């Protein structure tokens, strides 16, 4: 059952899934109709704007052409007036010449009259020539006016053709808009139909599975999605199930990828969670955050991603990738359709920082080499100092032993010298020993020695 709150009275009432689907369908159809009306109004406004622009452009060109032709006609009128003025001046000169000729005819000779007649004939020829020029100018003016009218008629015909073409183009565009609108409507209806079919399919599919099968199907779905693009998008990536449960828990999948030099730049711990609609105890996504963060830290992964179909009516998780780093660092919650996009997003972000990681790794390696060098130097110094101390101690012990030995030898020497002195004294005493001295105070012993000596 779905709960719906009235925005006017605030009353909350419940509807079943079919009623909720009908309400959603009505709202979608109303929004679609509004969008179509808006598109039609926009196309009508665009059509009127195009026609207005075309009419204004045509009127401007027409006015420019009329101005140009009026200038040409004014120039022709000015030329005709000049010719007429020249012709009037020639007639005045002719009359003056005739008057002079009449006056001179009475006074001058025949020769003078002949010359005047020649002058008059010349004037007549000049008049005829000016009349011919005036007639030619009028004919040229008439031809120019006729040509201008023909050109203007031709331009108007061309403009009419262009307007007709524009009207045809606008009609074609309107037809295309209608066809596009029809196509959009059909595509929208087809997407709605496919979506409804997919929802019904998943409902039926989940209804026929046990809770364990539902979870395993989600894992298999994500694995199939990844394997479909593994060789094209992630040729060097590691994506396998987490089978290490030595710490008491494990995730579902681990994603790792390293550069060509072996520098790992991305690692993600994935956990897939799903349950049937009929399950009595409904879990929430937050119930698995702590365990997922623990698995991420124990397995040494940088990011943690929960692929979840739990809380299917929660719009927070239905709108896309949800960052829950405010609860646990570098953790995201997604629906299965965002499984590949989250990998691509995190991987591209890590690739941008790969160069800095490599440089940092090189610096760390250098620091580690320096640290090892310092440790080796310290070890050498400590060993050398220890060996020096031992050698110095042994040397001092040897010197002490030598001193002791010298003292012992000196004592032995003194003892030997004392023994030599005692032996010399003993020898002297032995040399000084005689029977007389031995028997000095022993008369009986002297008598016995005397008897032995007498016998001998």
Query: Of 301, 332, 352, which residue constitutes the final position of a domain?
Result: 352
Chain segment 104-136, per-residue pLDDT in tens: 555 555 555 566 567 667 767 776 776 676 666
Report the pLDDT value the prediction gives residue 209, as an integer from 0 to 100.
Answer: 44
Query: Phi and psi (nearest 5°) for 261?
Result: -85, 5
Same-domain pairing of 69 and 89: yes
In a domain, 130, yes or no: yes
Query: Of 158, 173, 199, which residue constitutes the final position of a domain?
Result: 199
Same-domain pairing of 135 and 245: no
Same-domain pairing of 164 and 219: no
CB 122, CB 93: distance < 8 Å: no
CB 332, CB 324: distance < 8 Å: yes
Same-domain pairing of 281 and 147: no
10 Å CB burial of residue 52 (0-12, 13-18, 19+) is exposed
Domain that holds residue 333: 211-352
Q: Return the CATH number at 339.
A: 3.40.1350
Same-domain pairing of 215 and 195: no
CA distance 208 to 265: 41
Q: How confident is the model at residue 212 (pLDDT cuts 50, 70, 90)?
A: very low
Lowest-pLDDT choice from 12-26, 346-360, 400-414, 425-439 = 12-26
In sequence order, the β-bridge partners of residue 323 are 332
Listed residue (145, 6, 134) closest to 70, CA to CA: 145
Number of domains in the chain: 2
Indicate the DSSP class of residue 355. Answer: H
Same-domain pairing of 69 and 163: yes
In a domain, 451, yes or no: no
Q: Which residue has the higher pLDDT, 211 or 415?
A: 415
Same-domain pairing of 293 and 320: yes
- How much is the average pLDDT of 221-232? 91
CB 182, CB 36: distance < 8 Å: no
Report the pLDDT value the prediction gives residue 137, as an integer from 0 to 100.
Answer: 63
Q: Return the CATH number at 149.
A: 1.10.287
Listed residue (97, 86, 163, 173) closest to 129, CA to CA: 86
CA distance 256 to 139: 95
Same-domain pairing of 192 and 215: no
In a domain, 65, yes or no: yes
Report the pLDDT value the prediction gives residue 17, as an integer from 0 to 100.
Answer: 65
Q: Could you give the C-alpha distances from 363 to 282, 356, 367, in angstroms and in order?
A: 50, 10, 6
Same-domain pairing of 142 and 188: yes
In a domain, 369, yes or no: no
Same-domain pairing of 54 and 132: yes
In a domain, 235, yes or no: yes
Same-domain pairing of 195 and 219: no
In a domain, 42, yes or no: yes
Q: Which residue has the higher pLDDT, 153 or 416?
A: 416
Report the pLDDT value the prediction gives residue 343, as an integer from 0 to 100.
Answer: 94
**Could you write out the DSSP letters of every residue in 2-60?**
EEEE-TTT--EEEE-HHHHHHHHHHHHHHHHHHHHHHHHHHHHHHHHHHHHHHHHHHHH
Same-domain pairing of 62 and 111: yes
Chain segment 76-106, per-residue pLDDT in tens: 777 777 766 776 666 666 667 656 655 655 5
Whether 203 shows a pLDDT value over 70: the answer reads no
In a domain, 83, yes or no: yes
Query: Of 352, 380, 409, which residue constitutes the final position of a domain?
Result: 352
Listed residue (14, 307, 21) closest to 192, CA to CA: 21
CA distance 63 to 65: 5
Chain segment 386-442, per-residue pLDDT in tens: 887 888 788 788 888 888 888 888 888 888 888 778 878 877 777 776 666 666 777
In a domain, 413, yes or no: no
């Amino acid at each position: 059952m779905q709960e719906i709150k009235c925005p006017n009275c605030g009353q909350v009432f419940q509807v079943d899934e079919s009623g909720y689907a009908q309400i959603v369908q009505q709202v979608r159809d109303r929004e679609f109709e509004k969008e179509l009306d808006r598109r039609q109004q926009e196309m009508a406004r665009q059509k009127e704007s195009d026609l207005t622009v075309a009419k204004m452009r045509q009127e401007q060109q027409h006015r420019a052409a009329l101005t140009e032709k009026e200038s040409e006609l004014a120039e022709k009128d000015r030329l005709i007036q000049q010719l007429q003025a020249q012709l009037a001046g020639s007639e005045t000169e002719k009359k003056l010449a005739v008057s002079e000729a009449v006056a001179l005819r009475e006074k001058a000779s025949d020769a003078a009259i002949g010359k005047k007649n020649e002058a008059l004939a010349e004037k007549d020829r000049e008049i005829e020539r000016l009349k011919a020029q005036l007639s030619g100018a009028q004919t040229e003016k008439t031809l120019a006016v006729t040509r201008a009218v023909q050109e203007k008629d031709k331009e108007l015909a061309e403009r009419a053709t262009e307007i007709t073409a524009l009207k045809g183009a606008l009609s074609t565009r309107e037809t295309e808009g209608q066809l596009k609108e029809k196509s959009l409507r059909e595509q929208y209806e087809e997407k709605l139909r496919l979506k409804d079919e997919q929802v019904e399919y998943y409902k039926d599919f989940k209804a026929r599975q046990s809770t364990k099968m539902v979870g395993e199907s989600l894992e298999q779905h994500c694995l199939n999605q990844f394997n479909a693009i593994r060789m094209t998008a992630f040729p060097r990536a590691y994506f396998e199930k987490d089978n290490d449960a030595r710490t008491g828990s494990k995730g579902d999948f681990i994603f790792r990828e390293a550069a060509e030099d072996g520098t790992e730049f991305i690692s993600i711990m994935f956990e897939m969670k799903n349950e049937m609609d009929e399950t009595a105890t409904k879990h929430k996504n937050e119930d698995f955050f702590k365990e997922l963060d623990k698995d991420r830290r124990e397995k040494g992964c940088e990011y943690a991603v929960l692929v979840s179909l739990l809380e299917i009516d929660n719009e927070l998780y239905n709108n896309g990738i949800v960052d829950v780093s405010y609860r646990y660092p570098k953790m995201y919650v997604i629906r299965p359709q965002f499984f590949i996009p989250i990998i691509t997003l995190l991987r591209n972000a890590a690739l941008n920082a790969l160069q800095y990681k490599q440089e940092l790794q090189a610096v760390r390696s250098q620091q580690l080499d320096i640290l090892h060098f310092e440790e080796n130097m310290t070890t050498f110094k400590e060993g050398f100092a220890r060996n020096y101390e031992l050698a110095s101690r042994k040397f001092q012990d040897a010197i002490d032993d030598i001193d002791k030995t010298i003292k012992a030898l000196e004592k032995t020497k003194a003892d030997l010298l004392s023994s030599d002195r005692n032996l010399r004294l003993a020898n002297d005493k032995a040399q000084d020993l005689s029977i007389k001295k031995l028997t000095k105070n022993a008369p009986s012993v002297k008598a016995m020695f005397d008897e032995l000596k007498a016998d001998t």
